Chains A and B, each alone.
Chain A
């Protein structure tokens, strides 16, 4: 099973709302990723978790707050977003050999399409 699931599929929120995106995988992967993808562009890395610890933060604004409660789950908490944050948010996971993910395939979920009004 190479499935990564994401909920919700679609989300509309106002700029004062607080919402969360959820991602789950049961492949035993210990690296999990959040990407942001704008229309007609490649995905841009936001965060990487390795063994449930934040490994990479690509200078993402603090209105995005990731959380990895266990090895299967990854959340992205959203607060006070701006209209320009509207995008497809993709979660991915991969194997991780004690902090090394080089060459490991990343498996992507279907994404959450976010619209900020």
Chain B
């Protein structure tokens, strides 16, 4: 069994300040973890993916995430927010060891950027 908890439903930051979106997971297997972004009325775009090669994962648009097994966390960060970062962000875990497993989505964090 696996689950994902996004600790904040809504985060607001000023343009140019750091972004932190928090995610905790649980999984019975060695998980693969993803962050997806969804802009209004759009599909989901992959930001980054962790699959055990390196604990610090760099993604697109300046985002990165660090896998911390001891804390079962996979928080998403960006040093300086841009207006175009305003969107919904989903933390996702994939963890079964066989078959066509299902992704488990967090409930999402809405990021608002203040000009």
Contact = CB atoms under 8 A, between A and B. Distances in A.
The DSSP consensus for interface residues of chain B is loop
A104 B44 CA distance: 15
A36 to B, nearest CB: 12
A45 B46 contact: no
B97 interface: yes
Interface residues of B, number: 27
B32 A106 contact: no
Contacts, number: 62
Given A102-B94, A102-B97, A56 B102 contact: yes
B103 interface: yes
Given A42-B107, A43-B105, A31 B100 contact: yes
B100 A45 contact: no
B43 interface: yes
Contact of A100 (B34, B45, B99): B99
Chain A contact-residue range equals: 20 to 34
A108 B32 CA distance: 17
Given A42-B90, A42-B107, A56-B102, A103 B45 contact: no
Contact of B105 (A6, A42, A50, A104): A42
B43 A108 contact: yes
18 contacts: A6-B43, A40-B108, A41-B107, A42-B90, A42-B105, A42-B107, A55-B100, A90-B43, A100-B98, A100-B99, A102-B94, A102-B97, A105-B34, A105-B46, A108-B43, A110-B43, A111-B42, A111-B43
